[in-house]
Amino acid sequence: MKGPKINRIIGYVIFLAACIFFIMGTVSGGPLMIVFYIIGGVIAAASVVWMIMKVRCPHCGTLLHLKLYNIDRCPVCGKSTDPED
pLDDT by residue, tens only, the chain of 85 residues = 578 888 899 999 999 999 999 999 999 888 899 999 999 999 999 999 999 999 988 888 888 888 877 888 888 888 888 877 5
Give this prediction's pTM. Answer: 0.82
- Residue 58 to residues 29, 41, 81, Cα–Cα distance (Å): 44, 29, 6
Per-residue pLDDT at 34: 94
Round to whole Å and give the CA distance between 36 and 32.
Answer: 6
Q: At what angle do helices 4-28 and 30-54 cross, to 10 degrees?
A: 170
